[in-house]
Amino acid sequence: MIRIHNSLTGQKQELQPVEPGHVRMYSCGVTVYDFFHVGNARMLVVFDMVSRYLRHRGLRVTYVRNITDVDDKIINRAREAGVDWREHARKFTAAMHEDLDALGCMRPEKEPKASEYIDAMLRMIGQLVDNGYAYQASNGDVMYDVRKFAAYGKLSGRKLDELRAGARVEVDEAKRDPLDFVLWKSAKPGEPAWPSPWGEGRPGWHIECSAMSTQELGPHFDIHGGGLDLKFPHHENEIAQTCGASAAKFAEIWMHNGFLNIDNEKMSKSLGNFFTTREVLAKIKHPEVLRFFLLSSHYRGPMNYSPDQLELAEAGLNRLYTALRDVPVDAGVPATASAATDAFHAAMDDDFNTPEAIAVLQGLARELNSARSAGDPGKSARLAAELRSLSGALGLLRMAPEDWFRAGARAGGLSDGDIEARVAARLAARQARNWAESDRIRQELADAGVILEDKPGGATTWRRA
């Protein structure tokens, strides 16, 4: 039984797919106006983990993650760059895929682009107008009439009056209520526009997700995810739209991942504490370090980004890969389930407790190290297969250990060949019991960021720190 915290009720509930055995999930992807930042990366990795784990548990998963490619920010950036907005969006969509591949995020079953779903949006806006939930304001925009939707505020746990009382929004004369939001913006010169029954224009942000999720998954599906900051107003508005258009149940479970903070503050451009995933990837040994870091605390809590944290993540991965090192991958050895597998599943079944699941992996690594030093190759191979299988459910330990240890040509810049030549020279010195020379070479390599490990029997392995 898989239990998931539902933001709608504030409680954990059992996942019972609307279609038995088939989980259909949607998450709000990124707006492709720039490289996505590490906060986006957290959301993307979290929901990739969710979809991977559900598949690992034998469920069929249809995962839909949209791409917002019609948006003010894209239009503005494209204008600044002097390129067509479509070209700007295409460029950053390609970059997004590169970074996601690096992070080990699988491609969702569908990645709808807003610009290709205008018809679906217009259809939904039409339904909302017909059902009395929307109106065309004096400025030509089509607005959602929040007062007509009785359940407005349910997801964010607030009443319309409370929301309005704290509202810092400027009162827009065209709106019937300050919280009314735009479904269709009437065209402005130089902006992308499509024809509609309400005149030329383009969609509001919120309607994009409602239309795309309904089109791809229908109005009633299992999981809707996104960052905590989307809870209000974006997801509240999605509920108002989808339910207003078809009286649907919409998503059974709403999942929200916590923020990734920097120096315990939310990252933002005004504070200048803003990192793109690309910048971070360039600084670390391997993208898997970032993925491990992002999964090392529970998805719902806040987490703090810092270089120290990334070092801890790298150390954690080193330990796991070390356990796997020198254990031959034997295709004939099945991943036998042990108590560790049960513990792993128990942790993950309880609202995707990845930190506890990783602790189980660490325990497995310890067992594996013990089995290897006890000279039990059968047990080692069995445990290694189990460790790989469980890690795979989190999208971790996807590399061959040797590739992991050789990754990260950082300071020093010695090639593999350079290193191996020095290792050979040191071996000769060792055989001559010339410890001074041996230690000199080892220190020389250490200064270049390469750590040597002598194995019993005379072999020496190396790794980049």
Q: How far is the CB of 331 from RNA (least distance, A)?
A: 25
Between 130 and 139, CB nearer to RNA: 139
Site string for RNA, 62-81 (x = CB under 7 A): -----------x--------
The radius of gyration of the chain's CA atoms, rounded to the nearest angstrom, is 26
Q: What part of residues 160-179 is at the interface with RNA (CB under 7 A)?
A: 162-163, 165-169, 179
* CA angle in degrees (0–180, nearest 5) for 101-103-108: 55
Tokens 């370090």 belong to residue:
289
Q: What part of residues 36-65 is at the interface with RNA (CB under 7 A)?
A: 37, 39-40, 42-43
Between 214 and 277, CB nearer to RNA: 277
Between 167 and 400, CB nearer to RNA: 167
Residue 189 neighbours by CB under 8 Å, 6+ apart: none
Rounded (10°) CA dihedral 350, 220, 249, 122? 130
Residue 324 is a binding residue for RNA (CB under 7 A): no
Q: What is the DSSP string of 203-238?
A: E-HHHHHHHHHHHHH-SEEEEEEEEGGGIIIIIHHH
Single out the residue of 227, 244, 287, 395 in contact with RNA (rule: CB under 7 A).
Answer: 227
- Binding residues for RNA, how many (CB under 7 A)? 82
Q: What part of residues 388-447 is at the interface with RNA (CB under 7 A)?
A: 430, 435, 438-439, 442
Distance set, CA 379 to CA 194, 332, 348, 372 (Å): 64, 13, 25, 8
Residue 217 is a binding residue for RNA (CB under 7 A): no
Q: What part of residues 92-121 is at the interface with RNA (CB under 7 A)?
A: none
Between 28 and 125, CB nearer to RNA: 28
Q: Could you tell me which stretch among 117-125, 264-272, 328-336, 407-415 binds RNA (CB under 7 A)?
A: 264-272
Q: How far is the CB of 235 from RNA (least distance, A)?
A: 9
Single out the residue of 140, 199, 363, 412 in contact with RNA (rule: CB under 7 A).
Answer: 363
> Can you point out the beta strands (E) in 242-353?
250-257, 260-262, 265-266, 303-305
> Can you point out the beta strands (E) in 44-179?
60-65, 134-136, 142-144
Number of H helices, E strands in the chain: 16, 15
Residue 276 is a binding residue for RNA (CB under 7 A): no
Site string for RNA, 192-211 (x = CB under 7 A): -------------x------
Question: Of all helices (H) and strands (E), which one includes residue 13?
Answer: strand 11-14
Q: Could you tell me which stretch among 56-64, 121-129, 244-252, 349-357 binds RNA (CB under 7 A)?
A: 349-357
Distance set, CA 229 to CA 16, 165, 321, 436 (Å): 26, 20, 35, 59
Residue 138 is a binding residue for RNA (CB under 7 A): no
Q: Which of 41, 25, 45, 46 is nearest to 109 (CA)?
A: 25
Q: How far is the CB of 258 from RNA (least distance, A)?
A: 7
Q: Which of 97, 110, 112, 105 is nearest to 52 (CA)?
A: 105
Residue 126 is a binding residue for RNA (CB under 7 A): no
